[in-house]
Amino acid sequence: MKQLAGKTTIITGAGTGIGKGIARAFAREGAQLVLASRKTERLEETRAELEPQGVKILVVPTDVTDETQVRRLFAATLNTFGRVDILINNAGRFDGGPLDELSLEAWQKVLAVNLTAPFLCSREAMRIMKRQGGGRIINIGSISAQMPRMHSVPYTTTKHGLTGLTKAAALG
């Protein structure tokens, strides 16, 4: 039997890169997948690639920085699968440059995707997981949280904050 058979897994940023790779790995292990991202076309490409493996897949185009859309993502998941077993907060954004040249808009966009979105998604997941008696939340961090790169102030800051969010949320 596959390790994740019957487990409903939401993956943010599932249309490309690490998120798509996670979706592939979870599909191989039999998880029911909920693929979320802003780009519907990329999500559909991921679905088309993975459906031949026989896994159930729900595509929910979502801007994870928008509280209403996050709630819609979790409601659609419950309507389709009846539960949320695993949430993978993978969506991410990078922007940077010298701090004295960084715009507030760039700072806020990175903060919204890399820190506010995991908060919103984790909050919704926890509400469901507590009612159903358990679940797992996985936040995708970065070595940049411990080892900053030049001109990466927003990214490094948010990934450091994500570590704090993860540790604090684990306390219940």
Q: Is 159 a catalytic residue?
A: yes
Q: Is 155 a catalytic residue?
A: yes
| pLDDT reported for residue 40 | 96
Task: Provide the pLDDT for residue 116.
Answer: 98
Could you say which of 56, 130, 155, 167 is catalytic? 155
Tens-place pLDDT, residues 97-116: 999 999 999 999 999 999 99
pLDDT confidence of residue 142: 84
Give all domains of the chain, ordered by start, each with its CATH number. Answer: 8-170 (3.40.50.720)
What is the pLDDT, as a whole number, of residue 90?
Answer: 98
pLDDT < 70 stretches in the chain: 145
Which listed residue (2, 130, 159, 167) is catalytic? 159
For residue 51, the model assigns a pLDDT of 96
Report pTM.
Answer: 0.95
Number of helices followed by number of strands (H, E) in the chain = 6, 5
